């Protein structure tokens, strides 16, 4: 029997009330529609998911506004039922849109012509709604009307601005209120992710049903703890034959992480010698060819941060060159509702002013890890094992410093019947290595990265051989 029309209308209104709560619904709808992307230049015709992008002002006085790009799950995957994942790239000063979205986990990757896009079959939006944020102000399309903001950024303000962004973004997109929410990222986002996670967790305290329904975080090849990162990085260089015995000895003797801002001359000399000994390799992916194309990004000597003096060469595969072309196209910026204020510099994968003038940066994230482990949040750390910049040995040493009890010792995990890496499960944390992956794991091992992501969301250990064989039979 058909239900009367007025009953259906009442039911629809009741559902809308539950979803939107007490928001100003007309304004929310108009703000969302203003941010909707109808079509990106060069976009494939068979796109089956919704996209939104635009700005959220996080500081009215300074005029700081952060740019985001939301790519929802395809309609066939029921996006309403999927969690929301915030992705952050590091640097500091590098674009989550340019790296995370455009060459790693996003649904679109850029063709060599710099003008057209193709679908990424391993996109993480197949299993979650993805929210990419360019942070802090000055990175990517994000901007500030206060010029000094570009040279006074640091960890604390970055975290506070990102939290303000989240609060305002959820107001604009109330359909995501109370949805399972995770924060993820890589590299120097090894600072951003736990710091923002801590803010969300602590400000949710006392709220029975928080709007930002934070469940946990995951970081890859992440800067975690200065002391252990130093030891682990030099160890990786030596054990992988990248430096000599004598250089390794000098690095261990003179490169004290607690004096990294003003290292002794012996350390500076050893680091320079280590770079010479390593030769012309891609330090972020030591077994893959370097890109021979030139761009403004590759010609610049990009120091990821003075605090880590070995981070001296930017990861600049040719895909980053394509991004630099694409995101500077006027028609692309118009489609993204970006650069609305006429930013006085071209879009780039990384902002060197922001990076070179980075301010506060705590020496360790381990106290935050411990706090959030005690809060029973889901925490995973993953590492591509061919990255020599923030290598697996550094991550293992940092995690070991937490002295967590082991639930399942180091074991191989499998993808399609082949070893995909190794994993160890601790009380409150899982560590996963990805075989043959570089600094940007989803770029060099996209299928393995998607398997990792699914396992995290399902809160299941990385699959064993018998499990993969069973699923394929």
Active site residues: 187, 387, 439
Residue 210 to residue 34: CA distance in whole angstroms? 27
Query: DSSP labels for 335-382?
Result: HTT--TT--SS---SB-HHHHHT-----SBSHHHHHHHHHTT-EEEEE
* Pairing verdict, β 180-186 and 213-220: parallel
Give the ranges where 375-464 is alpha helix by DSSP (H).
392-400, 441-444, 446-458
Tokens at 325, concatenated: 């072309």
Beta strands, E only, 199-305? 213-220
Using only the alpha carbons of the chain, give its radius of gyration.
22
Tokens at 291, concatenated: 């890109």
Residue 467 to residue 171: CA distance in whole angstroms? 41
> Chain-centre distance of CA 267, in angstroms?
31
* DSSP H/E element including 193: helix 189-204
Residue 346 to residue 113: CA distance in whole angstroms? 18
- Residues 6 or more apart whose CB falls under 8 angstroms from that of 350 comprise 91, 93, 94, 95, 139, 297, 302, 314
Phi, psi of 132 (to 5 degrees): -100, 135
Give the ranges where 205-255 is alpha helix by DSSP (H).
226-239, 245-254
Residue 364 to residue 229: CA distance in whole angstroms? 10
Residue 291 to residue 205: CA distance in whole angstroms? 48
The answer to whether 106 touches 123, Cβ cutoff 8 Å, is yes
The answer to whether 91 touches 99, Cβ cutoff 8 Å, is no
* Pairing verdict, β 51-59 and 429-434: unpaired
């Amino acid at each position: 029997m058909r239900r009367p029309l007025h009953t259906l209308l009442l039911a629809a209104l009741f559902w809308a009330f539950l979803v939107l709560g007490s928001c100003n619904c007309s304004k929310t709808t108009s703000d969302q529609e203003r941010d909707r992307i109808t079509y990106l230049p060069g976009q494939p015709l068979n796109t089956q998911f919704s996209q939104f992008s635009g700005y959220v002002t996080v500081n009215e006085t300074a005029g700081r506004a952060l740019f985001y790009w939301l790519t929802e799950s395809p309609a066939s995957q029921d996006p309403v039922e999927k969690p929301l994942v915030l992705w952050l790239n590091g640097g500091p000063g590098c674009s989550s849109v340019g790296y995370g979205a455009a060459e790693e986990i996003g649904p679109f990757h850029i063709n060599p012509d710099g003008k057209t896009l193709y679908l990424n079959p391993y996109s993480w939006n197949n299993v979650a709604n993805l929210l990419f944020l360019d942070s802090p102000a000055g990175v990517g399309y994000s901007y500030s009307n206060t010029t000094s903001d570009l040279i006074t950024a640091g960890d604390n303000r970055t975290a506070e601005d990102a939290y303000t962004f989240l609060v305002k973004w959820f107001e604009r997109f109330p359909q995501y209120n109370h949805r399972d929410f995770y924060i993820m990222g890589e590299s120097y986002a090894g600072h951003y992710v736990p710091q923002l996670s801590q803010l969300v967790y602590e400000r949710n305290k006392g709220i029975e049903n928080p709007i930002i329904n934070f469940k946990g975080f995951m970081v890859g090849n992440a800067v975690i703890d200065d002391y252990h990162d130093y030891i682990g990085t030099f160890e990786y260089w030596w054990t992988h034959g990248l430096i000599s015995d004598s250089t390794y000895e000098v690095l261990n003797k003179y490169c004290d992480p607690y004096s990294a801002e003003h290292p002794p001359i012996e350390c500076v000399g050893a680091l320079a010698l280590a770079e010479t000994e390593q030769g012309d390799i891609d330090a972020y992916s030591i077994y893959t060819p370097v890109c021979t194309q030139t761009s403004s990004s590759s010609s610049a000597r990009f120091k990821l941060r003075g605090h880590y003096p070995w981070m001296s060469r930017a990861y600049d595969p040719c895909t980053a060159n394509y991004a630099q072309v694409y995101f500077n196209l006027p028609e692309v910026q118009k489609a993204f509702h970006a650069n609305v204020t006429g930013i006085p510099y071209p879009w780039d994968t990384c902002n060197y002013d922001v990076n070179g003038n980075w301010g506060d940066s705590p020496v360790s994230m381990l106290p935050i890890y411990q706090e959030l482990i005690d809060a029973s949040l889901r925490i995973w750390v993953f590492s591509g094992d061919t990255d020599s910049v923030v290598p697996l040995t550094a991550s293992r040493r940092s995690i070991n410093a937490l002295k967590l009890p082991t639930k399942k010792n180091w074991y191989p995990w499998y993808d399609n019947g082949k070893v995909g890496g190794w994993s160890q499960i601790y009380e409150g944390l899982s560590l996963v290595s990805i075989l043959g992956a570089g600094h940007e794991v989803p770029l060099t091992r996209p299928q393995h990265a998607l398997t990792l992501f699914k396992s995290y969301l399902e809160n299941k250990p990385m699959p064993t051989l018998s499990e993969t064989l069973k699923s394929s039979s």
